[in-house]
Amino acid sequence: MTPRPWLHGFLDLCLLAMLRERPDYGYGLAQRLAAAGVADVPGGTLYPALLRLEQQGLASPSWAPSEAGPRRKYYEITPAGRAALDAQAAEWRGFRDGVDSLIGEHVR
Amino acid sequence: MNDWPLRFEAELVRLGVQPQRARQLSVETAAQAGEHAADPDGFFGPAHLYARHLVAELRAPLPDTRCPTGRVMLRLTGVGKRFRRRTVLTGVDLTVRGGEVAAIVGANGCGKSTLLRICAGLTTPTSGTVHRTRRVGFVPQDGGTAGWLTADEHFTLFGVAAGMTPRKARSTGTHLASLLAWRPGRTQPVQELSGGTRQKLNLILGELHGPDLLLLDEPYQGFDQGAYLDFWRQVRSWRDAGRAVVVVTHLLHELQHVDHVLDLGAAA
Amino acid sequence: MTAFVVAGLSAREVSRRRAALLLMITLPLWFYLARRDLTGQSTRMLTLGMAWAVSTVTLFVVNAARGVDPRLRLTGASVPGIFGGRLLAMSGFGLLLTAIYLTLVTLDQDFLRPWAVGVMMLVTALVAAPFGSLIGALLPRELEGALALFSVCAVQMLADPAGTVAKFLPFWSSREIGSYAVDGGGADVLWRGLAHAALVWLLCTGLTLAVFARRLRVARYPEPES
């Protein structure tokens, strides 16, 4: 699993990307992150990040009842969120390619 | 463990979150733990620590809000200081612009505090020239407060000295305190505060009048971990707002946050 | 504006030091009670006790503000604003002491000119405030300052009032005005006392201002050009 410091810079990016696919709530997003093999994100990291996206207007919340247990807070990506996602995705690709090229030189 | 949401809410309020918003966050946080079929204490850890963490996370500035660096706020050219026979500083050059943070580092007794006092204008240099913007805030290493006055009274005193009305000074002070996760007591004289809290007051008094240049002499002494992080976040937000900051420090791992490092070297 | 806020806060500051304040307010009373049978002497002792009380409290206030003063200057306050405020508050304290003790002695003793007793007390209290601030400006610690004030007041009590030494002491005026009030001296004695008090007040105020202006001077640096 990815060490936390790496994820820290890209958690917002991952969350926005998942929300673009479909609106989701905290637990669902945690499951998807783990399933994708990105990280097992602790709740103390995930939920503040979601609240921050909400505060910055990148995701908008809505409450929905669940079959079992308490109602859930679903997040949906906003147009501003899409714009931020595009910008951050480009940044990520640049970063990834840079790291790849460095690893390529030395490891192979 | 059922009082976790209550303690969490109380701590949020203490940290300066609006009561209504604190209630809302507390309810949501309990529900989030519920999603994972966990109790909040096990899932998020102790209530007061998670409250601190959440407040800090939500206060994090938006990415890339930094303005391009602005006009020169402080320029030292060949500044030297001699006390009788003892030379403390020689040929110090430093230029700090708005939107920049400069750190003054060096061994104990190498003249860091003297240099900062020269920047403030409280000590006159023996040689060299100083150009400085007029609106300056100075935070000395210790002292700088009156033991028998309350925090509110300090706000009034310093605000009025800067030409603010007492009411404006108090509300500004209270707001700045909340940024450092501190809610000053109404009747507690400063000498009854802990060392770290007194330093928070010290820091607030330096920036109460919204100076363009902040001169800080190791202002985080006695801060706990949370307050220490709040402090550096505050430094970054001043910088992002286009102010210039000069901070005397001996903590080298903080130098990643600064734009200039002035190393005064070994003791004179 | 600064002066009034400083005055108000200085008053609050002092009022919080309950024990010290209570000792200072009651001190003149012990001086008085020691020789209550002698109208003139007891009243003079009382007045010198007031002088010590007011000057010592002023000293406390001045010393307590040492850390704050340079920062207030940097923030924009003027030296006369800062010092004037403290002087105002401490003169107010002197006025309060005068009111208390004038009431006491006029009920307890018969005076030739009771109003002049009030003048003696008030003038002494008003002189004591800048004198205490001058000592506070020169001696950095409370204990040293309080001992210096104690020495001055003790010498003032013991010195021969007709001698030259007494005339150079700060509270000689209280002795002179006292003679007019209690022993029936002429008006010239009163005026001499008032003139001495005015001179001492001006001297102490001027010197304190000079010391503070030097200590709290802030260099005026030119604005940098970008």
Domain coordinates in residue numbering, chain A: 4-107
Compare all CA atoms of chain B with the CA of A50 and give the residue at the minimum distance. B58
Question: Would you say B106 and B112 are in contact if contact means Cβ atoms under 8 Å apart?
Answer: yes
Distance from CA of B141 to the nearest CA of C (A): 11
B148 in the same domain as B48: no
Where residue C131 falls among pLDDT bands split at 50, 70, 90?
Answer: very high
Task: With beta carbons less than 8 A apart as the criterion, state whether A24 and B32 touch.
Answer: no
CB < 8 Å to B46, chain A: none
User: Are B55 and B130 in a shared domain?
Assistant: no
**Average pLDDT for residues C152-176, to the nearest whole number?**
85
The string of pLDDT tens digits covering residues C26-78 is 999 999 998 888 888 899 899 999 999 999 999 999 988 888 999 999 998 99
pLDDT in tens, C76-123: 899 999 999 999 999 999 999 999 999 999 998 888 888 999 999 999
Instruction: Map chain B to HEC letters.
Output: CCCHHHHHHHHHHHCCCCHHHHHHHHHHHHHHHHHCCCCHHHHHCCHHHHHHHHHHHHHCCCCCCCCCCCCEEEEEEEEEEEECCEEEEEEEEEEEECCCEEEEECCCCCCHHHHHHHHHCCCCCCEEEEEECCCEEEECCCCCCCCCCEHHHHHHHHHHHCCCCHHHHHHHHHHHHHHCCCCCCCCCEHHHCCHHHHHHHHHHHHHCCCCCEEEEECCCCCCCHHHHHHHHHHHHHHHHCCCEEEEECCCHHHHHHCCEEEECCCCC
pLDDT, tens only, A42-95: 888 889 889 989 988 899 998 888 777 677 889 999 999 999 999 989 988 988
* Predicted pLDDT of residue A64: 83
Closest of C131, C114, C120 to residue C194, by C-alpha: C120
For chain A, the helix, strand and coil percentages under 3-state DSSP, each to the nearest 5: 65, 15, 20
Kindly report, residue by residue over C133-157, the tens digit of the pLDDT. Answer: 999 999 988 899 999 998 998 888 8
Judgement on whether residues B25 and B117 belong to the same structural domain of the protein? no
| C-alpha separations of A33 from A7, A26, A71, A85, C100 in Å | 11, 11, 22, 16, 79
Residue B154 is predicted with a pLDDT of 94
B29 lies in a domain?
yes
Q: Is B42 on the interface with A (CB under 8 A)?
A: no
Number of domains in chain B: 2
Q: What is the pLDDT of residue B253?
A: 65
Residue B66 in any domain: the answer is no
Q: Please, how many CA atoms are within 13 Å of residue B15, restricted to the half-sphere of its CB?
A: 25
Q: Tell me, what DSSP letter sits at residue C161? A: T
Q: Which of A1-10, A24-33, B70-79, C37-46 has the lowest mean pLDDT?
A: A1-10
Q: Is residue B134 domain-shared with residue B31, that is, in the same domain?
A: no
Question: Would you say residue B70 lies in a domain?
Answer: no
Q: Please check whether residues B31 and B135 belong to one and the same domain.
A: no
Domain that holds residue B40: 4-59
3-state secondary structure of C26: helix
Query: What is the model's pLDDT at position C27?
Result: 92
What is the residue extent of each domain of chain C? 2-215
From B131, B148, B153, residue closest to C223, measured CB to CB: B131
Query: Cβ distance A73 to A60 under 8 Å?
Result: no
Assess if residue B47 is contained within a domain. Answer: yes
- What per-residue confidence (pLDDT) applies to B64? 46
Residues B44 and B118 in one domain: no
CATH number of A4-107: 1.10.10.10
Token code pair at residue B83: 């006390």
Distances (CA, A) of C194 to B128, B171, C105, C173: 51, 47, 21, 6
Of B17, B41, B59, the position where a domain reaches its end is B59
**Inter-residue contact C87 to C11 (CB < 8 Å):** no
CB C106 within 8 A of CB C117: yes
CATH of residue B142's domain is: 3.40.50.300
**Angle in degrees, 0-180, between the axes of helices B195-207 and B225-240, rounded to the nearest 10:** 10
pLDDT at B67: 52
* CB-CB neighbors (< 8 A) of C213 in chain B: none
CB–CB contact B62 A56 (8 Å)? yes
Stronger pLDDT, C158 or C58, i.e. the higher one: C58
Mean pLDDT per block of 10 residues along chain B (268 residues) reads 84 82 90 85 83 76 55 92 88 91 86 92 92 92 86 94 90 87 88 89 91 90 80 84 88 73 72
Quick check: do B and C touch, 3+ CB pairs under 8 A? Answer: yes
CB contacts, 8 Å: B124 with chain C:
219
Q: Is the pLDDT of residue A36 over 50?
A: yes
Three-state DSSP at C159 gives coil
Contact A26 B32 (CB under 8 A): yes
